[in-house]
Amino acid sequence: MNITIFAQILQRLPKNIFQELVKKYQTDKHSKGIDSWTHLVSMLFCQFSKSNSLRDIHYGLNSAAGNLNHYGVSFSPSKSSLSYINEHRDWRLFRDFYFSVVKSLNLSRNDKGRLKLKRKIFLLDSTVISLCLEIFDWAKYRARKGAIKLHTVLDYDGCLPVFVEMTDGLKHDATMAKQFVFPANSVVVGDRGYLDFPLMNQWDEQNVFFVIRCKENVKFIEEEIRNPDYENIQSDIIGELKLDPSFKKYPKKLRMVVVYDKQTKQYIELFTNNFNWTASTVAQLYKNRWNIETFFKDLKTHLKIKSFVGTTVNAVLIQIWTALITIAMMKGFKSIAKHKWHLSNLVNFLRLNLFVKIELQYWLDHPFVPEKPPDESVQYAFF
């Protein structure tokens, strides 16, 4: 194999789709030599190598000067050039390309703990990325603290976002969720931040099922009590909202399933508009919401997303979308590898072997090839 692992990773990207998006957004117009593909390669290298600055990206790519033609790149962009294109090139190019990459991967879960439900399941949550307000003065959050918030809809099957919206840290979760459109008969699972009765009513009218954690101050009138079907289910109740303002916002019956969490020793109250599922299914749906928390942890831990190489809104958005492209590719490699990789190990090992010339699929399948013991006759020849 005469090309590096990084070059083989880039070859697996749908470059024809990327070029179509380049034409759509006219991002190569007035590019001055640094085209959109070179920009993408530079920012993906930033993510795979976890470079700390634009200078690191330039030097890192420059160190592989003999292999740049394998990346479809003629030269390594300078620090100033990267800074300029991060500030001015349309970030929507990278957003649309992320969704094209996810579509091409066609990931699906086959693990033993998978919840078998004949409906599309979406996990809804957001995460806050802290920023220095003095540098990122556009990222309003608190008096002395800046932040951006990633509002995310995670597909349960592929464990990758199918919708991401980035706002300042002040944007409320439920307000943002009203802009999401879910397919009919799908299931939305969310935490207490999405307990918004007009939002829940909107979902119900769209034939979307929901499982939302309840807050302690919600008043609920019990009309029908069902027998618990599982050990940790404390109660299964059908009723309606008691207070007039809440009832006007959701003037329908609701189902409340109360689950006891042995780990936290807390009672968790869950609202749903599905009256046919078993109570244990409702509880398991909410338990699987932890997948999105795991995704946020992986994103922040393994990729370059907590510190940024640019300070403008455009530069930050480009870096976040290229981080999402990177983690999508990582999960794609994990799914096709015969070796049972943990995502953290795969990320770190790829980072160490980016410029190694070995066949990518073979390396994914056999990362730890045992060395052959030396021939004893050769050893004896020295004596």
pLDDT band at 308 (very low <50, low <70, confident <90, very high): very high
Share of the chain above pLDDT 70, in %: 93
pLDDT number for residue 298: 93
Taking 70 as the threshold, does the pLDDT of residue 280 lie above it? yes
pLDDT band at 340 (very low <50, low <70, confident <90, very high): very high
Which residue would you say has higher pLDDT here, 259 or 158? Answer: 259
Taking 90 as the threshold, does the pLDDT of residue 213 lie above it? yes
Q: What average pLDDT does this structure show over 243-248?
A: 88
Kindly state the tokens that stand for 227.
Answer: 């027998």
Please state, in angstroms and rounded to a whole number, the distance separating the CA atoms of residues 40 and 66.
19
pLDDT number for residue 326: 96
| C-alpha distance from residue 161 to each of 36, 158, 208, 224 (Å) | 24, 8, 19, 37
Q: What average pLDDT does this structure show over 21-25?
A: 95
pLDDT band at 195 (very low <50, low <70, confident <90, very high): very high
Half-sphere exposure of 244 (CA within 13 A, CB side): 0
pLDDT band at 62 (very low <50, low <70, confident <90, very high): confident
| C-alpha distance from residue 101 to each of 68, 97, 98, 325 (Å) | 22, 6, 5, 7
Look at 187-196, 225-234, 357-366 and tell me which has the smallest mean pLDDT: 225-234
pLDDT band at 30 (very low <50, low <70, confident <90, very high): confident
pLDDT number for residue 372: 56
Which residue would you say has higher pLDDT here, 310 or 372? Answer: 310
pLDDT band at 155 (very low <50, low <70, confident <90, very high): very high
pTM of the model: 0.89
pLDDT number for residue 230: 74
Question: Among candidates 154, 165, 244, which has minimal Cα distance to 197?
Answer: 244
For the chain, domain boundaries? 5-102+310-359, 195-275
Share of the chain above pLDDT 90, in %: 63
Q: What average pLDDT does this structure show over 256-275?
A: 91
Provide the mean pLDDT of the chain.
89
Which residue would you say has higher pLDDT here, 111 or 328? Answer: 328
pLDDT number for residue 84: 92
Taking 90 as the threshold, does the pLDDT of residue 190 lie above it? yes
Q: What average pLDDT does this structure show over 292-320?
A: 93
Judge contact between 353 and 362, C-beta under 8 A. no
Taking 60 as the threshold, does the pLDDT of residue 321 lie above it? yes
pLDDT band at 228 (very low <50, low <70, confident <90, very high): confident
pLDDT number for residue 31: 73
